[in-house]
Amino acid sequence: MTFKSRDAIRLSDGRELIYFNESDDSHRSSYPDTRELPPPPPASQLRYDPLVDEWVAVAAHRQTRTFLPPTDACPLCPSTPAFASEIPAPDYDVVVFENQFPSFSDRIKPDEITSLTDLVPVRPGVGRCEVVCFTSDHNSAFGSLSPARVRTVLDALADRTSAMSDIPGVAQVFPFENRGVEIGVTLHHPHGQIYAYPTVPPRTRQMMDAALRYRARTGGDLYTDVLAAERKAAVRIVAENEHWTAYVPAAARWPYEVQIAPHRKVADIPALSDAERDAFGPIYLDILRRFDALFGKPMPYISAWHQAVVGEGRDLGYLHLQLFSIRRAADKLKYLAGSESAMGAFVNDVVPEKAAETLRAL
């Protein structure tokens, strides 16, 4: 771990907040939350869709979450004498706290499953949602961080992945970042989130099913072999170092999509070695800066860590980061319209080999 200390406090409504400090002399935990907050909202509800064998979360309280506040009222900035934010301290390095408007919560216990109809069972949305602030600088971005700060963020994600994986009922831990109003962010401050899902999400289940079929057919590990094939072909490689390779998937769904994978198969972020963690920052920052250079302006993107599930099927997972943007040209976005939204059938506007070539050339 690179952070020097880890200080946990409770906010005025009982939610947990953790400072990951890069210096030994920090006293951030001595600052109390001076706000008077209502108790955390009721948990979400999971409803089963029998037509596609998926669970859908219904979280009506999220309708009231903070939406694009002015800079001087940003809840992710350090607190000031004029404004008490979610972070009581006057500064911080990296901080993680329970989301005030969570999609899932571990403050409830699983109840017996009820139902709306004979085919639609309903269960509580047990899990956990946390916010990760990468820097106290409101006007910064992840791509502007130092490699040392990226390492601190990665160590914080490892800490939280381990802790959230131990919550009863959690099926998978998913760290991610949404960047840009085009993506749908409601806060401009550089931050990400971590979801602890109570069920295995559809995308993960599809990847696990594919990996299981591949193993039964060949005896091999699917992602290991896909990565090896991409490294051998080289045509879609954007960047690489001793421990990581960044490449455009051959069947990329998004106009600009890059996966960054460690050369050694590991299940999740906590399983990364010190050398692998140190090597991640430089290659990830390189790719983020290439994304911003594509059209000469900040690129909207989603950055998603795919980790192994907590329980059965964990051996099928291969940690990797998926980075993609909905921007397909300087003045055009890829909207998920009829084919993508209604049928889940993607049509990509950019040839993956051309996307890789363009990113390499920047």
CB 178 within 8 A of CB 196: no
pLDDT at 24: 83
Tell me the two tokens of residue 228. Answer: 């090896």
Tell me the pLDDT of the chain (362 aa) as tens digits.
Answer: 788 899 999 999 999 999 999 998 778 999 999 999 999 988 789 999 999 999 999 999 898 888 889 999 999 999 999 999 999 999 999 999 999 999 999 988 767 778 999 999 999 999 999 999 999 999 999 999 999 999 999 999 999 999 999 999 999 999 999 999 999 999 999 999 999 999 999 999 999 999 999 999 999 999 999 999 999 999 999 999 999 999 999 999 999 999 999 999 999 999 999 999 999 999 999 999 999 999 999 999 999 999 999 999 999 999 999 999 999 999 999 999 999 999 999 999 999 999 999 999 99
Identified catalytic residue from 27, 61, 188, 191: 191
Binding residue numbers: 74, 77, 138, 189
DSSP label at residue 112: P
pTM attached to this predicted model? 0.97
- Domains of the chain by start residue, with CATH: 5-199 (3.30.428.10), 203-361 (3.30.428.10)
> How far is it, in rounded angstroms, from Cα 191 to Cα 95?
10
Q: β-strands 301-306, 327-329: how paired?
A: unpaired
pLDDT per position as a tens digit, 125-181: 999 999 999 999 999 999 999 999 999 999 999 999 999 999 999 999 999 999 999
pLDDT at 267: 98
pLDDT at 42: 81
pLDDT at 64: 85
Binding residue numbers for Zn(2+): 74, 77, 138, 189
CB 200 within 8 A of CB 172: yes
Catalytic residue status for 191: yes
